[in-house]
Amino acid sequence: MRRRRRIDGPAPKPLLRVLESERLTLVAASPELIGSDLAGTRDLASALEADVPIEWPPELFSTTVMRVAQNQLLDPSEQGWSAWYLLLRGSERPILVGLCQFKGRPDPAGSVEIAYSILPGYRNRGFATEAVARLVEWAFGHRNVVQVAAETMPHRTRSIRIMEKNGFVLEGPGSEQGVIRYVLRKSGGR
């Protein structure tokens, strides 16, 4: 009979899926990470080992949106196709500056939709453009993804500019009244 060794100390942190861009570390959400987020900025800061500004969370990412993402992530195959936390590197500790989110795995036609939001104190510095570029690259690295889409209101010129800088083109009306849809197609098809 084998004896189990007792290990003292905190439980190891679960492995996180991480992507890097020029200035950012993108951390894929997990149910546990979103749980830390919903518990408060102190818990989130500990989980990410990063500073979390007082104005967290960014607009468009309400408690309801994050609970939906948390439930989505109960299916492990959804990791990466949900929320990504955006950490700015370059100081002693990374700083959480925003969120991007795919709205689920690719549909049967190979399309995914992305959304993004940056905290007000970190806007107009190219962080959303950089994060979207890296996540589009990650998505197109999957054979079955042929298109990334994003929707916004016509008056949200900063959001439109982020899409345009990443090569998205206006497709037309979005899924809801008053919303417009931009798409970026993978070159070379499937």
Domain boundaries, the chain: 18-185
* pLDDT score of 5: 41
Q: Which range (13-22, 111-120, 135-144, 147-156) has the least confidence?
A: 13-22
Residue 122 per-residue DSSP state: G
- Nearest-angstrom CA–CA distance, 174 and 163: 14
Give the pairing of strands 180-185 and 147-152: antiparallel
Give me the CATH topology for the region 18-185. Answer: Aminopeptidase (3.40.630)
Q: How far apart are CA 18 and CA 84, in angstroms?
A: 9
Looking at residue 6, its pLDDT comes to 41
Distance of CA 90 to the CA centre of its chain: 20
Query: Above 60 in pLDDT, residue 10?
Result: no
Q: Angle between the 41-48 and 31-39 helix axes, to the nearest 10 degrees?
A: 140
pLDDT at site 26: 98
Q: Identify which of 137, 57, 66, 129 has the alpha carbon closest to the alpha carbon of residue 98.
A: 57
Q: What is the mean pLDDT of the chain?
A: 91
pLDDT in the model for residue 60: 85
The amino acid that residue 179 corresponds to is V
Mean pLDDT of the region 56-81: 94
Query: What's residue 15's pLDDT?
Result: 57
- Read off the pLDDT of each residue in 103-125 and give the average, rounded to a whole number: 97
Confidence of residue 3 (pLDDT cuts 50, 70, 90): very low
- What 8-state DSSP symbol labels residue 177? T
pLDDT of residue 17: 87
